[in-house]
Amino acid sequence: MSYEFILTETRGRVGLVTLNRPKAMNALNHQLVRELMDALEAFDSDEDIGAVVVTGSEKAFAAGADIKEMADKTVQQMMDMDFVKAFSRILSMHKPVIAAVSGYALGGGCEVAMSCDMIVASETAKFGQPEITIGVIPGAGGTQRLTRAVGKAVAMEMILNDRTLSAQEALQFGLVNRVVPVERTVDEALKLAEEIASRAPAAVRVAKKMINQAYELSLTDALDQERREFYDLFATEDQKEGMKAFIEKRKPDWKGK
């Protein structure tokens, strides 16, 4: 499929999506978000892909929702367009999605990164929710996902008073997994994705789902579900292979079944 605002490629068992709207700092207009979700869902249903990386440019991962596109919209038009709802679909994808973030990850850009399962940040990454400066609030999970990631104190400052986090602060507050030199960011994310893609697919899928459930369910319900998922994995060939390989002191040969 051909896209206007993103680029896609495959590296081994990893799908790579690059946001590509350089003149607008990768601002997330309606079409870009649709293209991003289409590409992610295509990789998610591709058997040869085990994980996906989403990145932007060195200057900007994404500077938020497209303010010029939104500025004159009515409530009804925003509700009809409802493009911010799409970000949540990343969570229900089976395969892990890793954001490789350099430069600005602001507003909806920060929210796309937070919707991903992990974030590899470059030393130049800047995370913020500046919606308050244009008279609105985050609409794609910022008030919820950011608060769960960095805690109430920091989230309050970021969302109520436009505080931006440097990459090191984001690491310190648990928003990102690691900070790497800018020129290594995509490669590090791809390496991490490739490692995960080489693991037992069903276990990776269930692990991702259960970690994300930690934010949705009560502890008792989540522990019940985790136990059921653990037992269910004993129906897979990969569980038999993984445990046999351990006992035989060799590398497992995953079948993805």
Q: Among all residues, which ones are annotated catalytic?
A: 65, 108, 111, 131
> What is the pairing mode between strands 104-106 and 60-62?
parallel
Least distance between ligand CAA and beta carbon 199 (Å):
33
Does residue 250 belong to the site contacting ligand CAA (CB under 6 A)?
A: no
Segment contacting ligand CAA (CB under 6 A): 6-14, 94-102, 103-111, 180-188? 103-111
- Residue 29's φ and ψ, nearest 5 degrees, are -80, 175
Counting residues that bind ligand CAA (by CB under 6 A) gives: 22
Q: In what order do the strands lie in the sheet with 165-166?
A: 60-62, 104-106, 126-128, 165-166
- Of the pair 162, 194, the CB lying nearest ligand CAA is at 162
Closest to 15 measured CA to CA, from 28, 182, 41: 41
Cβ–Cβ under 8 Å, residues 4 and 31: yes
Does residue 63 belong to the site contacting ligand CAA (CB under 6 A)?
A: yes
Segment contacting ligand CAA (CB under 6 A): 64-72, 150-158, 180-188, 212-220? 64-72
Does residue 117 belong to the site contacting ligand CAA (CB under 6 A)?
A: no
Least distance between ligand CAA and beta carbon 87 (Å):
8
**Is 57 in a helix, a strand, or coil?**
coil
Least distance between ligand CAA and beta carbon 65 (Å):
4
| DSSP assigned state of 140 | S
- Of the pair 69, 187, the CB lying nearest ligand CAA is at 69
Does residue 201 belong to the site contacting ligand CAA (CB under 6 A)?
A: no
Residue type present at position 172 = Q
Closest to 202 measured CA to CA, from 242, 247, 246: 242
Least distance between ligand CAA and beta carbon 90 (Å):
14
Select from 50, 56, 108, 201 the one that contacts ligand CAA (CB under 6 A).
Answer: 108
Residue 71 and residue 83: Cα distance in Å, rounded? 15
**Helices (DSSP H) in 88-235: which residue ranges?**
108-115, 147-150, 152-161, 167-172, 185-197, 201-213, 219-232
Does residue 32 belong to the site contacting ligand CAA (CB under 6 A)?
A: no
Q: Which residues bind ligand CAA (CB under 6 A)?
A: 24-25, 27, 63-68, 84, 104, 106-108, 111, 130-131, 134, 138-140, 142
